[in-house]
Structures are given as structure tokens and as C-alpha cells.
Amino acid sequence: MSDDLIQEIYASVTAPGRLIEMMTAVGRIVHADSAFLFTSHSASSPEALLLGHNVSNEHINDFATTWRHEDIWAKAAGRRGMMRRNVVVTGDELVPEKELHRSAFYSDYGRRAGMDAMVGTILFDGTERDGAMPFTNLCWYRSPGKDRFTPDDTARLRPLMPHMQRALLLHEQLRQLSMQHLLAGVGASGMQLASLVIDAAARIVAHNASAERVLGGSNALVTTVAGHITALGRRAVPSFHEALHLCKRTGQAVQLVIQEVSGGRLIEGTLSAIAPDTPGYVGMFAQPHFLLIIQCPGAPNMDLVHKACQLYNFTASETAVTVLLLQGLTVAQVAHERDCSLNTVRTQVRALLSKTGHDRQVDMLRTLSQLVR
């Protein structure tokens, strides 16, 4: 096992799009012609990913929409209880070559996609304690006319599995940090804004804390079904689906006017495309993503919040806590956001109550809200 190859595996997590380089580099040691990396949906990763090396977009799309459900190798592995972490197996161990060639999967898809022989591995099976990675399957293929994969090929791959697993975990952690950084940048102007990253199917991939105010409940500005946005407010101009279609087609930002469900007030919003493979790394693997930004109804003016804090002689830390409480965060969420202990925030809240002359947190926040709206 080459040190250079191990370095290539870890280098693949450092920049967008480089996971394909990992698949290619590892595939070279088994003389593979192409590769697929596939993940499922999970609570921590709501997007199912499909990344191909040396596979056309047409074949990737066909696999994602139809043939992954008919993959004869995956079906055989499932029947034999081999869809488990750290399993490495050749296609011929799962399905005899003659049976493969008689299948609809091979006749109608595999042959033209160059999938005549396969060696595959389950990097994560979705049962890991930390839940950081969903089910993840990585397979390499050889085209018709090439030699079959052998147990020697699986032996070459096994020592690399821990390195590929660590690289993918690091990759996911970096992606999550980049996503948080992007969402945290929304609202830097002082106006409280809800921001949501969605995919092309309108599935919510991530959102900031302020978005909790516009999601859920009978008066929600954002209506969802199974995690997908279906409508905005009582009505919106253009409608959400019209805006998403326009954004997909033109790549230009679309301005929205949204009417509240109750009260009828008009709220401004923007839907914009996120360029794939940017340093923010939200457009994963060139899949289109979009950023929906909505002004939070009744959001406090942050400039006035800071002036009100000065009025009561709040310290910088107390001001930061006040801002988060006015945004609707709980004391526990404030502690998490500020990376400090729960007791520290509780002490700061007691100081806020003392300085504002209140006994209850809800009364203090009501007073401050009236000052800054």
C-alpha cells in the first residue's frame, strides 16, 4: 500500500469535487475503468448523493432514477446479509457472470454503462454510533472485454477502507462547517433573516436558527411536506414553485413578496442559486442548490437592540446573549451557540433581569421587544 495513495485519499477532502480523485486513485490499484459512490438519506445528511467517475451524466441519472432499485449485485448482497460496513466483495462472488448477463439490469443498463464486472465496498452502513455518515456504498467497474475482478483485488482494497472512511468523515465535517458559515453570513446587515438551503426538489438541506420562526405552526411562512417546501405564506408573488423554476432556468436571483397567513402583512424574500463547488461547498457534486432568504415577521431591529442594551449598561457578553434570546433561542440553545456552559448563560440572564428590573425572562424580553420593533 503506497503512502502516496493514502495521501491522495486524505487530500480528497480538502476541496470541492475532489472525492472523484479519491475514487479514481483507489480504482487504479484494481485497474477499474469507472466508479460510483452512493449514499442514502439520513437525519444528519438529508441529501442522497451519487457521484460517478468516468460515467456519463445520462448513466448517472438513469442509475439514480431507475436502475439503483434494480441493481442485481446490490439485491444479491442484501439477500446474503452483506450490506454491512467493511464488506468488500466482487460481483462474481454475488452473481455468476452468466446470470448477470441474462438480467435486465445488465442488458438494458449495465452493458452500455460499462459495468460488466464489479468490486464494491460498504464504507458506512448507517448504524454507526455518531450517525455522522449515512449508508455509503463505493463500487468500481470494468468494461466488457476486460478481466473479471478477483479476491486479490478485494485484498488490495481492504487495507484502504479505514483511510477512505476517515476521509469521508472529515469531508462531511468540513462540508457542515462550510454550510454553517454560509448560513451565519445571512443577516450580517443587522436585519433578522431566515435562511434555508434547498435542493432542486425543494427539500430543505439546512437552515439557520432564525428559520425556526418561519417553519411549522398554523401561521408558518414556509409550508413543508416531508421536508420539502410546498408553499410560502398565504400566497406569494411569484409563487414558490414559479420562483424555483425561474431560478433553475436562469440562475438569477428571484425577488418574492410573501403575504403572512394571519394578519396579511407583506414580507420580502429572495431565492437565489448557489454556484456548485464553491468554497462554501453547498453545491455538492455539481448538484444545484438554492438559498431562500426571508425577512422574519416582527423581527427586531438589531441596531436598536444594541442601543437598548447600551441603555441598560449590558456588557458585550450580555448583549450577545440578549440578541440570541430576542431571536427566539432558548437558554440551552444560546449556550450551544456561544460555546459556553448552561450555568454561564443562566448567570448572565440573572444579570439581565437585575439590570432591567424584571423577575421573569419573558417579561424582560417583552419589554426589550417593544423598544426595538
**ω into residue 238 within 30 of 0, thus cis?**
yes
**CB proximity list for 356: less than 8 A, separation 6 or greater:** 312, 364, 367, 368
In the predicted model, what is the mean pLDDT of residues 126-140? 80
d(CA 48, CA 328): 31
Among the three residues 274, 295, 316, which one is the final residue of a domain in this structure?
A: 295
Same-domain status, 225 and 89 = no
Higher local confidence (pLDDT), 296 or 36 = 36
Report yes or no on 132 lying in a domain.
yes
State the CATH number of the domain containing residue 356.
1.10.10.10
Report yes or no on 208 lying in a domain.
yes
Same-domain status, 231 and 320 = no
In the predicted model, is pLDDT for residue 67 greater than 80? yes
In the predicted model, what is the mean pLDDT of residues 179-195? 66
Report yes or no on 148 lying in a domain.
yes
State the CATH number of the domain containing residue 195.
3.30.450
State the CATH number of the domain containing residue 39.
3.30.450.40
In the predicted model, is pLDDT for residue 7 greater than 50? yes
Among the three residues 174, 202, 219, which one is the final residue of a domain in this structure?
A: 174
Distance of CA 212 to the CA centre of its chain: 17
Among the three residues 143, 174, 205, which one is the final residue of a domain in this structure?
A: 174
Q: Which residue has the cell 451565519?
A: 184
Report yes or no on 180 lying in a domain.
no
pTM above 0.75, yes or no: no
Report yes or no on 179 lying in a domain.
no
d(CA 308, CA 337): 22
Same-domain status, 166 and 195 = no
Which segment of 36-45, 46-55, 158-167 scores lowest on mean pLDDT? 36-45
As for how many domains the chain has, the answer is: 3
Q: Which residue has the cell 440570541?
A: 324
Same-domain status, 33 and 109 = yes
Same-domain status, 22 and 160 = yes
Same-domain status, 8 and 140 = yes
Q: Which helix (H) or strand (E) holds 225?
A: strand 222-225
Same-domain status, 113 and 165 = yes
In the predicted model, is pLDDT for residue 284 greater than 60? no
The pLDDT tens digits for 17-31 are: 678 888 999 999 999
Backbone phi and psi for residue 92, each to the nearest 5 degrees, phi listed first: -70, -25
Question: In the prediction, which pLDDT does 122 show?
Answer: 94
Cβ-count burial 339-361 (b if 16+ within 10 Å, e if not)? eeeeeebeebbeebeebbebeee
Can you give the residue range of the structural domain that contains 245?
186-295
Same-domain status, 112 and 253 = no
Same-domain status, 130 and 198 = no
